[in-house]
Amino acid sequence: MIIGSGPPQRVPPVSASNPMQCRGQNTSSRTTHSLIRMLRREGEGRRGEETAEAEKTLFLPFLPSCPSCFPLSAMLPSDGYEQQLARRLGPSQKERLRKHGSRDSRGGFRASSIETPPCTDFDRAYFHSYSHVGIHEEMIKDRVRTDTYRAAIMQLQNSIADKVVVDVGCGTGILSIFCAQAGAKRVYAVEASDIAAQAKEVVKTNNLSDKVIVLHGRVEDVNIDEEVDVIISEWMGYMLLYESMLSSVITARDRWLKPGGIILPSHATLYMAPVTHPERYSESIDFWRNVYGIDMSAVMPLAKQCAFEEPSVETISGENVLTWPFVVKHVDCYTVTVQELESITAKYRFTSMMQAPFHGFAFWFDVEFSGPAIFPNNNQSQSPPDDVASSDISSPRSNIRKKRKNLDEALVLSTAPEDAPTHWQQTLVYFYDPIEVKQDQVIEGSITISQSKENVRFLNIHLEYA
């Protein structure tokens, strides 16, 4: 059952003391609320009876909450978005795409089986949410994110200088300006939200109007009458794929990227791992056992529901992780298709490295800035970092994540628990009650991440474990 409507947002972490509070009530610069709508557990009568041996299924619609506080209708712009778009944009590029199909960035053409998707009410609400400056302030102030993008642009300056660049979802235009500073011949800064007006002024203020061209509209609709050498975009959402912005990068690639062109970032990897987090459980649940000397344990079942019904976006450390991480999905931005992202299924198998309460699963990602390369297949076994082989890895396709030590190697932006925190943090799925696991105990199951049929920017997560 999927509940609620409204645009996905990058929002602050769900409060441990009040995980269901509405975002935006405390800050005038943000229209965001909670990231995720509801956690549904099959067999609700069995709550509190989890054991390591019993199979469990979690179904998690990944939706923003509190539609009554901020209804979809309030999110919609009233200035006739599609009509304005029709006046601004010519049909030539769209018609060319439909006639000839999409180009493979590594040479030749692919047959295009997908018509340009219409701009839905959900899309308009999503774009409108990015018109508020607060969300851009949060992203720009994330030094790990912004500095890594700037470092990648400067490291690949020889591939950007005197080249044509497209910035997909340019926001305030900061990445477009970085590319112009790196010597780009021309930068098309594409932005569907109304923040494009501010981006245009920022470009003008920095005397870059001759190099950076701000296009207000969707990538699917705007007209660029030349091929491009570089596509850059900060498309990653919580848990990597939330918001489904990668589809716009794929569209830009298939419409405009020259054979041999580069995409930044070029690759992405989504990880998951079992975690222990007794502090979180204690402050949200055990608190009710003794409140100013009063036994309020009767509140605990409701407290569990309020604290753990929703996946939580928060920061954990490497000490919370019970096993080596598992690669749920590896994405090669040069070859990935829109259809490939509609549903992702992986079977996982972990071996606990310690005896501890198992509170749930954490998800995080990293992205790499490099040219086309050959990578292992997706859905690989859990894999330790730093070239350390795990005794539990049984698949010959296992991918060992390596730290970059050479400055000439590809830069990596990581949101892992052991790395510097970012505004993405980690996404955690908590159980209502922890499961005690022993050292070397096996945790296995499957996960399916699929786009919502109602709104592809939302995710449904089906998680089975035993």
The residue from 243, 310, 314, 368 that is catalytic is 243
The residue from 50, 191, 220, 234 that is catalytic is 234
CA distance readout (Å), 210 to 105, 207, 347, 438: 27, 8, 51, 63
Q: Which residues pair with 129 in a beta bridge?
A: none
Q: Which of 432, 398, 343 is nearest to 40 (CA)?
A: 432
243 given a catalytic annotation = yes
Which residues are the active-site residues?
234, 243
